[in-house]
A = this chain, B = another copy of it.
Amino acid sequence: MISWKNLDTLASFKELQETDAVKLAEVMSGESGAERVKKYSVPMAEGLAYNYAAKAVDEKILDVLVKLAYEAQLSEKFEALYNGEVINTGEKRLVLHHLTRGQLGNAVVADGADKRNFYVEQQKRIADFANKVHAGEITNEKGEKFTTAVQIGIGGSDLGPRAMYIALENWAKKTGHFKMEAKFISNVDPDDAAAVLASTDVAHAIFILVSKSGTTLETLTNQSFVMDALKKQGLDPAKHMIAVTSETSPLARSKDYLDAFYMDDYIGGRYSSTSAVGGAVLSLAFGPEVFADFLEGAAAEDRLSTEKDPRKNAAMLDALIGVYERNVLGMPATAVLPYSQALSRFPAHLQQLDMESNGKSVNRFGEPVSYVTGPVIFGEPGTNGQHSFYQLLHQGKTIIPLQFVGFRNSQIGTDVDIQGSTSQQKLCANVAAQIVAFACGKKDENLNKNFEGGRPSSIIIGDQLNPKTLGALLAHFENKVMFQGFLWNVNSFDQEGVQLGKVLAKRVLAHDTEGALAVYSDLLNI
């Protein structure tokens, strides 16, 4: 029997608050530090490992975090989720993104269909479509091959797929999997669509309109933008567009599209990279096999996330430590710092995933909670960030926990040896150095050059960023965010906070305003 309780009602949370904090700089120094790095590591899927040696935890704290995991019934809640209970209480929906990549538990039947079958069927339809595009069986009106895929979507229909595309683009070019370039139009700012279209050979472009509801204002507006551009070149928009939407949306089964592929209400936008939302663009860009590998990596990580013992479950442990940092140590933000240029937009995706899921003030029953919930998430790839905001991370007044990601090998493999080391070695040396610098610091009598240390971080280490490891990485963070939502007792799968702005924007456009809103509208010449 699952009971959904607020974090501050749990005995183990109170125990956690009373447990002595760890002096990170001390325990990470000398032999003790070496032992921690060897010991505090959890294997993940596809050869990845989550190393939390530089987190401010020790055996005592870990024991309490284990108790907390059991008391909060994290595994049971995940099990309920993947077995099809209504976990999204606000919108009264199932939460089924895990089913897009595997069957973790019982068959889930909804809307009269087995949902795993439904998602697999869509993947097959997309694979078939993409293969035909690549083979020149589906072409433009002149019978010429499509050479570019342009995704039109915003939020979850943009950030995740875009981050995944960038993550795999160079890998695909190197390994011969690259089929066509993908571009993305998201913002309602007309300069976004105009600039993308100006740099695109629209006669050979296939556009992917992505909106679950089929009513997203930005996306419909940008669709019109694109249709105008196609018509101006004498092209038939219906021969250049596909839709990714829900079966009940106005976009489904429309003659305006070459074809349509489906997701449903059980896949939140920010969890949709492994659904048709990511599937269409990634299969067109890299081929269906690459997308299948991506799903395989995610599925493998999902299976590991079902492990009940948090010390063997990287996502669960990451979640528990994050809640400890947020709710006991009082840290307001988390920086995501991938040492991989290919992951340059991965932090922006995690920013949505995490902040939209857990940036809540009420629990799943709509009651206010008295503790803080999701942190601010931000980040840029290393080593770039070192020359930017790391100053504050090292010497600022507020301690920000850090989430590093690093790979032993680059994707392209081209490298230079300067001063006795390759660029890839320099990259890896820097992330290793940063972890220790943050944790241990370094005393200096000149306080301006003093590093207090005690700044916690973890690192996920892998051999190389490729479709499988990317899938595992994505699933890790999705599941981490889910477990944190369980701990905070919030509904991580709705986003009511985005509604009011939409309502007021409509009122502005209808000139139905008064007070401050009317004056702002004037100032902006609306």
Contacts and interface: CB of A to CB of B under 8 A. Distances in A.
B505 A430 contact: yes
Contacts of A516: 28-29, 33-34, 36-37, 53-54, 435-436, 439-440
Indicate how many identical chains form the complex. 2
A155 B387 contact: yes
A497 B395 contact: yes
Interface stretch (A136-144, A283-291, A333-341): A333-341
A361 B194 contact: no
Interface string A436-452: 11011110001111111
Interface in A365-412: 366-369, 371-378, 380-384, 386-398, 400, 406, 408, 410-412
Interface stretch (A67-75, A103-111, A418-426, A473-481): A418-426
Interface string A79-96: 000000000001000000
A483 to B, nearest CB: 18
Interface stretch (A246-254, A299-307, A313-321, A349-357): A349-357
A39 to B, nearest CB: 10
A121 interface: no
B225 A449 contact: no
A347 to B, nearest CB: 9
Contacts of A515: 28-31, 33-34
Interface residues of A, number: 159
Interface in A216-237: 217-218, 220-222, 224-225, 228
Given A423-B225, A432-B517, A500 B378 contact: no
A228 B414 CA distance: 11
A114 interface: no
Nearest to A156: B387
A221 B423 contact: yes
Contacts of A440: 516
| 6 nearest CB pairs, A to B | A359-B392, A155-B387, A33-B516, A433-B504, A394-B497, A378-B378
A514 B362 CA distance: 47
Contacts of A387: 154-156, 158, 218, 269, 352, 498
A176 to B, nearest CB: 14
A267 to B, nearest CB: 15
Contact of A339 (B189, B411, B412): B189
Interface in A325-345: 332-333, 339-342
Given A170-B194, A516-B36, A524 B414 contact: no
A131 interface: no
A11 interface: no
A173 interface: yes
B392 A497 contact: yes
Given A356-B389, A366-B446, A173 B190 contact: no
B448 A383 contact: no
A89 to B, nearest CB: 9
A3 interface: no
A390 to B, nearest CB: 6
A187 interface: yes
A348 interface: yes
B194 A412 contact: yes
A38 interface: yes
Given A408-B525, A429-B524, 18 more contacts: A33-B515, A34-B518, A37-B523, A187-B384, A187-B427, A190-B410, A190-B414, A224-B416, A269-B387, A333-B376, A352-B388, A356-B389, A359-B391, A376-B398, A391-B495, A441-B500, A448-B494, A461-B523
